[in-house]
A and B are shown apart, each in its own frame.
Chain A
Amino acid sequence: QSVLTQPPSVSGAPGQRVTISCTGSSSNIGAGYDVHWYQHLPGTAPKLLIYGNTNRPSGVPDRFSGSKSGTSASLAITGLQAEDEADYYCQSYDSSLNWVFGGGTKLTVL
């Protein structure tokens, strides 16, 4: 069981907006530690999507955005495209466990 909780799956039609939640606790997200998000296609290296809660690395489309509030964070994807179908992971720091990941969310584009 992961320290950060994500829904196992989400889905949406092309062009729609989806959100992926990441719920933590007072020892990680709630303690003020930043949340980062990754996109992972099977057989490839995970790709950084969002760092420091809301920041996009160069080259990541602005269709991807992140937010954080309290003990939770969210990744939003607007204008859903077929190429967005992948696994998404949140990551933060836990004061007792070191760096931790969410369990991952599989995004299906219908």
Chain B
Amino acid sequence: QVQLQESGPGLVKPSETLSLTCTVSGGSISGYYWSWIRQPAGKGLECIGRIYSGGITKYNPSLKGRVTMSVDTSKNQFSLKLSSLTAADTAVYYCARSNPWFDPWGQGTLVTVSS
């Protein structure tokens, strides 16, 4: 059974860059699309973007060039970098496999943007 686990800092400062990693266990990262999704407190889900195991990416245009995703097949991990952070980026960040439906998901990690 494939499981995903997000890791990264829980607190980052405004204007800095957030770096999160998702570790995939119980299956190979190869041959699938993998996504990052976030949920601000009290709001709905937003797809940040996706990456194929071969490295092809597609990002949500609303994030205006602040997103970079990468994949490390040797470690069975994929990563998210989100730059120029503001308070509006405070959210629970999830990683998920894209089929194109999202399943499974990680448990999520809360990221707070504050000085």
Instruction: Point out residues on A near B: beta carbons under 8 Å.
Output: 2, 34, 36, 38, 40, 44-48, 51-52, 57, 89, 91, 93, 96-104
**Contacts A44-B107, A45-B107, A45-B108; A100 near B101 (Cβ below 8 A):** no
- Does the CB pair A99–B47 fall under 8 Å? yes
- Among all A-B residue pairs, the 8 with the closest Cβ atoms: A36-B101, A45-B105, A48-B103, A51-B101, A101-B45, A99-B47, A103-B44, A104-B44
The total of interchain contacts (Cβ-Cβ below 8 angstroms) comes to: 61
Interface CB pairs A-B, < 8 A, 22: A34-B101, A36-B100, A40-B45, A44-B107, A45-B104, A45-B107, A45-B108, A48-B102, A48-B103, A48-B104, A51-B101, A52-B101, A89-B44, A91-B101, A93-B100, A96-B61, A97-B60, A97-B61, A98-B50, A99-B100, A100-B47, A101-B47
**Contacts A45-B107, A51-B101; A99 near B44 (Cβ below 8 A):** no
Interface residues on B, range: 20 to 34
A104 to B, closest residue via Cβ: B44
Determine which residue in A40, A44, A93, A99 has the highest number of CB atoms from chain B within 10 A of its CB, and name it: A99
Task: Return the CB mask of B73-115 against A: 1 if under 8 Å, else 0.
Answer: 0000000000000000000001000111111111110000000
Known contacts A2-B44, A57-B103; can you find 11 more A-B pairs with CB under 8 A? Answer: A34-B100, A44-B107, A48-B101, A51-B101, A89-B44, A91-B45, A98-B49, A99-B35, A99-B50, A99-B98, A103-B44
Instruction: Point out residues on B near A: beta carbons under 8 Å.
Output: 35, 44-47, 49-50, 58-62, 94, 98-108
**Contacts A45-B94, A45-B105; A98 near B99 (Cβ below 8 A):** no
**Contacts A52-B101, A93-B100, A99-B35; A45 near B47 (Cβ below 8 A):** no
- Does the CB pair A104–B45 fall under 8 Å? yes
Q: Which B residues lie within 8 Å of A93 (CB)?
A: 100
Q: Which B residues lie within 8 Å of A40 (CB)?
A: 45
Q: Which A residues lie within 8 Å of B105 (CB)?
A: 45-47
Q: Which A residues lie within 8 Å of B50 (CB)?
A: 98-99
